[in-house]
Structure 1
Amino acid sequence: MTGLTYTDAMSGALDRLRSIGYEHGTMLVNHAPMAAEAMATLGYADDIATWVEDNLAHRRYKDLPTPRFPLSATDESDWRPALGDFDRVTDWWEMFDRELAEKPWQEVLNLWWPRLVSGMSGVMTHGVIRTAHAVRAIARAGESDNALYRKELAHGLGYWAARYSLSDAQAVDAELRRGTPGPARPEGAAYTALDELVADACGHYATVQTGHPVPLIHAITGPAAVRLVLPHLPADLQWTSYLAARHCSDGIRGYYSSSRGPATAPAAAVPREDQLIAEAVELGDEHAIKLAEVAVRHQALRPDDRYAAAANAATTRLRKFLSAHSFYD
């Protein structure tokens, strides 16, 4: 054991991954920075370098697309038509890289979060998930040298913008307009609502049958990513963020579940928290690791057996799936 710190492990991982493309296969997503950050948070910093190298050996990531022409962050007529255009993903990343080099990350986040949140469902919420992991990393870095973390946040926001869902954004914006001005909500209402949404999505995952074990996981990890960022957002953005997360989670559950109806925690016993994490890391699967981190994080926020039940179900199903398949998202 080398006893690496979170900072040492994450700096090494982000440096190794900074030139790796966003996707592999047919719109399969690069989870490596997210999984590395989850492992560091879970106390597995010493295992990250080996995990990253193994991931790179088994994934054929595409190169970062060639830039087309610079985007202007101050000209809405320039950047808005590029929303949801993956051909512009490098233009988006470079724009955010410039913005984050010149301004505090909180200022950039609070400007762009409301512009992007309605379209967060694109590619199964991976843009907002990658952004959330980057936010936790950069917030943890504090005032220290965080150039790698700023670049990772630029990648997260850039990917989110390039895979922005135009169709879902219209639906979410329509829902928001119907709810305006709406009744006054107590302070912290978005926190409570997101915690309930994540717990319900976990219970749903643990009790329904699915063909592929991965897609339905994002009904959990998408809202959990929004919950992770919520403390860094102003109060007037929090309820909107919950509504967008709920729209995504409901949509994923509706599309990928073969069973309907209220979800309840299964009666079967699940492993202890430390064993749950260890089994996910040993499996090495990105989704198992990230869901285990969500389970641990939310258990600390609001104890509920459904978190561990979902993480255990995901690791079990993924172990079986991986024994029969060579690669997947």
Structure 2
Amino acid sequence: MTDTQRNHVDTSGTLDEALERIHLSGPERDGWLSNHAPMAVEALVRRGQAPAAHRWLDNYRPRLEDMPGSVAPVTGRNWQEALGDIDRVADWTAFFERETADRPWRTVLAEWWPRLLPGIAGGATHGVIRVGHSVRTLLAGEETEPRVRELAHALGYWAARHQPLPALERLAPAPDAAAALERVPLIADQDGEMLARLGRLTGFPDWPGQTPEEPEAARTAIEELVRAATHRYATHGHAAPIMLVHSATAPNAVLRTLPALPGALWVPSLHAAWAASATVTAAYGPREAVPVTAPPGAQDPQEVFERAAAHGDDHTIKFTDTALDVGDAAALVAAGRAMELNTPAW
């Protein structure tokens, strides 16, 4: 394991304490903005910034809202009628709390992952991103009650915001992920929230052109996509500095979840990861790139993340976390660009 890839296992109880505080709130605020606290706090703890986690949450907590009230219980028989209904988010959360209490969380995840993948773009991809952070924690350490409950909250939010894409044209193949992102047709009208923009999508390049036959090939392709999207942010993130981070963080959430899934689900996961990244690119990408000059000398990954933590913006923290997963110099430049483009939180 390199220094760039090194992660910290939380033995202090900080993450569990923070999650218990977060679970008093709902998954959204101000009508549609996502609650980023569980994802940002997990990244802070994971990257060695646990002492700052509660202070960050103290500052973020006034933005949050209570969990909405229940409408009617979601069950194994009626779940399809509740899929994509944000008014049922409390019911979905309670459903997954029951499911993960009664069965191993990996079993629940494997059952629901293929059901939720077609709606990966819902909630501006925050459902899958929250799941990815949750699964990373569960795979890395003790399966505590707050961490399993966080997976239930993440799955519940994804189910409530589930939003399939419209039928899309399959465009000419691209040789690699970077070229595929470059060739994504931008929607003509980039106004409105992401939900409104989804209906304006027309088609995506055919990538990867040949569907991988082996799970490991699918993993490699997703890694390539995450790297390409992270690098691209440095030159293209200026168009929508907050939204375009999801072109990298959404497929990275899928990548983080793969080890907990059966191999048969890895190829469908690749296709969903590409759809998520391409959707964000089409909906928010700029017409022109802006050249970026890399700082002189090599950057230390841990120092880069410390700067992101001090910056405090939730999307910047999560994007820098992904940049450290990619781990190369270009990714660290992109993380620095996110700090420049996004407004510090406090």
- TM superposition score normalised by structure 1: 0.84
Tell me the equivalent position of 1:229: 257
Aligned residue pairs total 300
**1:93-132 map, 5 Å:** 93-132=93-132
Partner amino acid for 1:158?
Answer: G
1:308 aligns with 2:332: yes
- 1:29-108 counterparts in 2 under 5 A? 29-57=34-62, 59=63, 61-73=64-76, 75=77, 78-108=78-108
Query: 2:287 matched to which residue of 1?
Result: 259
CA RMSD of aligned residues (A): 2.5
Q: Aligned in 2, Cα 1:82/1:273: closer, same or farther, shift over 3 Å?
A: same
Pair 1:187–1:63, CA change in 2 (3 A): closer
Compute the displacement of 1:112 (Å).
Answer: 0.3
TM-score between the two structures when normalised by the length of structure 2: 0.80
Conserved 8 A contact 1:20-1:62: yes
Structure (1/2) with the larger helix percentage: 1
Q: Aligned with 1:217: secondary structure?
A: helix
Once the two structures are aligned, what percentage of the paired residues are identical? 35
| Kept after mapping to 2: 8 A contact 1:83/1:162 | yes
Partner of 1:159: 157
Partner of 2:308: 280
Amino acid at match of 1:163: R
Question: Tell me, which stretches of 5 or more residues in structure 1 are unaligned?
Answer: none
CA distance in 2, matches of 1:108, 1:83: 16
State the shift of 1:4 in Å. Answer: 10
Measured against aligned partners, the alpha-carbon deviations of 1:150-204 in whole angstroms (never above 9, x if no partner) come to 1111100000000001335x659xx9xx99xx76624511111111101111121
Matches within 5 A, 1:13-32: 13-32=18-37
- Whether the 8 Å CA contact 1:6–1:40 is kept in 2: the answer is no
CA contact (8 A) 1:271 1:312 kept: no
Aligned to 1:213: 241
Give the Cα–Cα distance (whole angstroms) in 1 for the partners of residues 100 and 288 of structure 2. 44
Q: 2:264 is aligned with what amino acid? A: D
**Residue 246 of structure 1 aligns with which residue?**
274
Distance (Å, rounded) in 2 between the aligned partners of 1:82 and 1:184: 33
Equivalence for 1:291 = 319
- Distance in 1 (alpha carbons) for counterparts of 2:312 and 2:237: 23
Aligned 8 A contact 1:194 1:227 in 2: yes
Q: Please list the CA deviations of residues 197-252 of structure 1 after superposition, one character each: whole Å capped at 9, or x if unmatched.
A: 01111121111253431000000100010000011111111011111110111111
Q: After superposition, where does 1:133-212 map in structure 2 within 5 Å?
A: 133-142=133-142, 146-168=144-166, 185-208=213-236, 210-212=238-240
Cα distance change of structure 1 residues 46 and 209 upon mapping to structure 2, 3 Å threshold: closer
Shift in CA distance, 38/322, structure 1 to aligned 2, threshold 3 Å = closer
Distance change (3 Å), C-alpha of 1:259 and 1:9: same
Would you say the 8 A contact 2:251–2:277 is kept in 1?
Answer: yes
Q: Unmatched 5+ residue regions in structure 2?
A: 1-7, 170-202
Q: Would you say the 8 A contact 2:137–2:147 is kept in 1?
A: yes
Question: How far apart are 1:254 and its partner, in Å?
Answer: 1.5
The alpha carbon displacement at 1:298 in A equals 2.4
Q: 1:166 is aligned with what amino acid?
A: P
